A and B are shown apart, each in its own frame.
Chain A
Amino acid sequence: MFEIITPLFLSLIVGGVFVGIVFGAIPGMTATMAVAVSLPLTYSLGLENGLALLLGLYVGGISGGLVPAILLGIPGTPSSITTTFDGVPMAQRGEGEAALRIGIVSSLVGGLISLLILWLFAPTLADFAIRFSYVEKFLIIFFALSVMAALSSDMLLGIFSGVLGVFVSLVGVYDISDGGNGELRLVPPGTEYWLDGGFALLPVLIGLFGLAAILEEAERGVPSAASSDEIAIGKSSSFSFSVFRGQTLNLIRSSGIGTFVGILPGVGGSAASIISYTNAKTFSKHPERFGKGEPAGIMASEAGNNGLTGGALVPLLSLGIPGDSTTALLIGAFTLQGIQVGPLFIGNNPTTWNAMIFAMLIANLVMFAMMYFAIRYFALVVTVPKHILFPVILMMCVIGAYTINYGIMFDVWTLLIFGVFGWLAVKLRLEIAPFIIGFILGPSAEVYFVKSLESFGTLSIFFTKSWIAVVLWILIAGSIAGSIAMSRKKAGQVADPS
C-alpha cells in the first residue's frame, strides 16, 4: 500500500485541509461546497489522489467551522451551532484563544476516534445501522429534539421556539426524494413560486446567526470600538491542557456519539453535535455552567462533529449509501473513476480503502497542526474594525446563500427574511438555538414519523418495534427528566437566593 503514498498524495491532503479550513471558517461557505467545487478536479487526479484531496477538504471544512462559531458567534457550518453556545461566552470573557485551542484539540480527538472506529468496525457497524428502520430513526431525531428543552433558558418559550422551527421547516413541498408525495403545504397563496422548495438550511442559518447579529449591532449604533475590545483574545488568555482533566469520558462519549449518528443514513450531521452536547450537559457535574462558557461544552460539540467524519464514511463504504451531504459527493468521485461503492467495496479495493484511512489520519493531524498554530492569525479577524468587518461578512453571507444551491436568488432573500426574524425573535424572547435545531431536524422528523405510521399503521410501533426503540425511549425520558430537574433547580435558586 505504500506505493500510493507519494509526495503528490501528501501535498493534496495538506492543500485540501488548508482550503477546507478556509471554507469552513468563512461564514456561509461549507465543507460540502469545498468538496463540490473540487470534485471535477479528481477526474484528472486519479482515484487515490482525488480522494486524498476530497478527504482533506472534508476534514478541514468540518473543523474550520469552529473558528467563526467561537470568534463571531456565526457557525461556519451547521454542525458547529452547538460550539457557539459556550464558545461565544468564553470569547466574550477574553478566553477566545483558549476556546479555539479546546475546540481544535477536541476536533482532533473526535476525528481520530471516529477514524479508528471506521477502520476497525466499518462493515459490522453498517450491519447494525440497517437495523434502524423509520421507527428507530424517528426516535433518534426525537431524542435530538428533546434537547431543545435543555438548551433553553425559559423552557416553555424554548420548546415553543423549537416547535416553531420544525413548523417553518415543513413549508413547501413534502419532498418526493425524501419519500413524500410532492404536495405543497403551509404555503400562503401567491407565494408558491418562491416557496415551493421551502427555506434552505444554510441561508436560514446565516440569516439567524449572521445578519441578525449585525442588525442587533446596528440597532445599538455599532459601538465604534474594534471588536477586539469585547472579544479579547490576546496572549494574556490562559490555556493549558489541564482543562481536559476529567474530560476523557466526555471526549470519548462525544466522539462515539458523533461517529454513530454519522453512520445512520438520513439522520444528518447536525444531530451529531447536538446529541453529544446535551449528553455532556446531562452527565456533567455542573450542567448549569453550560451555555455560559463551559469548556466541556465546546469539547462535546467539536468532538461530536468531527466524530461525524469517520462515521459518515461507514455507510458510504460498506453500503454505498452516504451518511451526510458531503459524503454524498464522494460517491461522485468513485463513479467518475468507474469504481462501485457497495458492500463489497472494502474487500475488492483494499488499496483504496487503506489509502482513504491513511489520508484521513494525515488530514486530521495536518488539520490539528495548521489550526493550532494559526490561532494567532484567526484572532486577527477580531481586530478588524466593525465598519469593515460587518459589510464583508454580509457580502460573504450573500455569496454563501447564493452559491449553496448553485444559484437560487430566493436563498438570498431567505437570508434577509431570517436575519430580520432572528432580530425580532430576540425581542420576543424566542430562542434561536432551539429554533434552528427544530428547523434542521424537522424534515427528517416528518418523514420518519409519517413513514413509520404509513408502514406499520399503529402508534404503538414506536414502543414495540425493537429493543433499540426501548433504549432510545429510556434516553429520551432521561433527557426530558434532566431538563425538568434542572429548570426546577433554577427556579428554586431564584426563589431562594441563599
Chain B
Amino acid sequence: MNITIDFETSHLVFPTVIGVILAILGLAILVRDRRRIAAAGSYWRETLGWMDKKRFFGTLVLTLIYFSLMVPVGNFWPNTGYGFLFCSVPFVFLSGLLFMHDWTLRGIIPLAIVAVVGPTFVWWLFTYPLFLTLP
C-alpha cells in the first residue's frame, strides 16, 4: 500500500478522497430514498403552500438589503462603524415590524426604542471599549 504524494498536488488528495466518498453516499441515498426524491415536487409545493411567505421572504430580502448597504454606507465615514449603526437601526425596526403580528403602539414603541438603543449601544461598545472595526 505504498503511496507517494507530490507536495505540488497534495491539495487535491483529500478533496478527491472526500469527493468520492460523498458521491458513493449520495448514490446510496438516491437508491434508497428514490421514492421520496421523486415526490420532491409535491413536497415543495406543499411547503410553499403553508409557509408564511411574507415573513419568510421578507426576512430574506431585508437581510440581503441590510448586508448590501452596510459597506457602501460605511464608506461615507471610513472606519467609524456608522455603516453598521445606520443600517442596523432600520433593519432591527423593520424586521421587528415584520415579525410583529398586531401593529399597536404598545408593541411598536418598545420595538422602536430597542431598534435605536440596541444598535447604538452595540456600536458604542465595539467602537470604544472593545476597539474593533465595524463596517
Q: Which of A163, A215, A412 contacts B22 (CB 8 A)?
A: A163
B122 and A394 form a contact (CB under 8 A): no
Bound complex: CA A419 to CA B66 (Å)? 15
B32 on the A face (CB < 8 A): yes
Bound complex: CA A385 to CA B3 (Å)? 59
B13 and A221 form a contact (CB under 8 A): no
For B29, what are the chain A residues with a Cβ–Cβ distance below 8 Å? Answer: 156-157, 160
Q: Which of B4, B21, B132 contacts A163 (CB 8 A)?
A: B21
Q: Which of B1, B2, B4, B118 contacts A395 (CB 8 A)?
A: B118
B41 on the A face (CB < 8 A): no
Interface string of B51-76 (1 = CB under 8 A from A): 11001101110011011001100000
Q: Which of A163, A215, A427 contacts B59 (CB 8 A)?
A: A215
A453 on the B face (CB < 8 A): yes
A185 and B15 form a contact (CB under 8 A): yes
A181 and B132 form a contact (CB under 8 A): no
Q: Which of A164, A394, A450, A457 contacts B13 (CB 8 A)?
A: A450
A222 on the B face (CB < 8 A): yes
In B85-135, the 8 Å CB interface with A consists of 88, 91-93, 95-102, 107, 110-111, 114-115, 118-119, 122, 126, 130-135
Bound complex: CA A167 to CA B22 (Å)? 8
Taking the closest CB of chain B, its distance from the CB of A19, in whole angstroms, is: 10
For A180, what are the chain B residues with a Cβ–Cβ distance below 8 Å? Answer: 10-11
A170 and B59 form a contact (CB under 8 A): no
B5 on the A face (CB < 8 A): yes
A387 and B134 form a contact (CB under 8 A): no
Which partner residue on chain B sits nearest A461 by CB separation? B1
A388 and B111 form a contact (CB under 8 A): yes
Q: Which of A173, A391, A399 has the most CB of B within 10 A?
A: A391
For B133, what are the chain A residues with a Cβ–Cβ distance below 8 Å? Answer: 403, 406-407
A181 and B11 form a contact (CB under 8 A): yes
B10 and A160 form a contact (CB under 8 A): no
A380 on the B face (CB < 8 A): no
Which partner residue on chain A sits nearest B95 by CB separation? A391
Taking the closest CB of chain A, its distance from the CB of B106, in whole angstroms, is: 11
Q: Which of A167, A395, A457 contacts B122 (CB 8 A)?
A: A395
B67 and A221 form a contact (CB under 8 A): no
Bound complex: CA A399 to CA B70 (Å)? 11
A412 and B67 form a contact (CB under 8 A): yes
Taking the closest CB of chain A, its distance from the CB of B86, in whole angstroms, is: 13
B13 and A453 form a contact (CB under 8 A): yes
Bound complex: CA A419 to CA B111 (Å)? 24
For B82, what are the chain A residues with a Cβ–Cβ distance below 8 Å? Answer: none
Taking the closest CB of chain A, its distance from the CB of B104, in whole angstroms, is: 12
For B118, what are the chain A residues with a Cβ–Cβ distance below 8 Å? Answer: 392, 395
A214 on the B face (CB < 8 A): yes
For A186, what are the chain B residues with a Cβ–Cβ distance below 8 Å? Answer: 15
In B2-36, the 8 Å CB interface with A consists of 2-5, 7-8, 10-15, 17-19, 21-22, 25-26, 28-29, 32
B3 and A453 form a contact (CB under 8 A): yes
Bound complex: CA A157 to CA B107 (Å)? 43
In A394-427, the 8 Å CB interface with B consists of 394-396, 398-399, 402-403, 406-407, 409, 412-413, 416, 419-420, 427
For A412, what are the chain B residues with a Cβ–Cβ distance below 8 Å? Answer: 67, 70
Interface string of A375-392 (1 = CB under 8 A from B): 000000000011110111
Bound complex: CA A105 to CA B87 (Å)? 41
A420 and B60 form a contact (CB under 8 A): yes
Q: Which of A173, A392, A445, A459 contacts B92 (CB 8 A)?
A: A392
Q: Which of A174, A183, A221, A403 has the most CB of B within 10 A?
A: A221
Taking the closest CB of chain B, its distance from the CB of A88, in whole angstroms, is: 21
A360 on the B face (CB < 8 A): no
A214 and B59 form a contact (CB under 8 A): yes
Given contact pairs A391-B91, A395-B122, A166 touches B18 in the complex (Cβ within 8 A): yes
Taking the closest CB of chain A, its distance from the CB of B32, in whole angstroms, is: 7
Taking the closest CB of chain A, its distance from the CB of B52, in whole angstroms, is: 3
Bound complex: CA A392 to CA B25 (Å)? 39
Partner-A contacts on B (CB < 8 A): 1-5, 7-8, 10-15, 17-19, 21-22, 25-26, 28-29, 32, 47, 51-52, 55-56, 58-60, 63-64, 66-67, 70-71, 84, 88, 91-93, 95-102, 107, 110-111, 114-115, 118-119, 122, 126, 130-135
> Can you name 12 A-B pairs with beta carbons within 8 Å?
A37-B132, A157-B29, A173-B11, A218-B99, A387-B101, A395-B91, A395-B118, A403-B134, A407-B133, A412-B70, A454-B10, A459-B3
Partner-B contacts on A (CB < 8 A): 37, 40, 156-157, 159-160, 163-164, 166-167, 170, 173-174, 180-186, 211, 214-215, 218-222, 224, 385-388, 390-392, 394-396, 398-399, 402-403, 406-407, 409, 412-413, 416, 419-420, 427, 442, 445-446, 449-450, 453-454, 457-460
In the complex, besides A185-B12, A222-B99, A454-B10, 7 extra interface pairs with C-beta distance below 8 angstroms are A160-B29, A164-B22, A167-B15, A170-B15, A173-B11, A180-B10, A406-B132
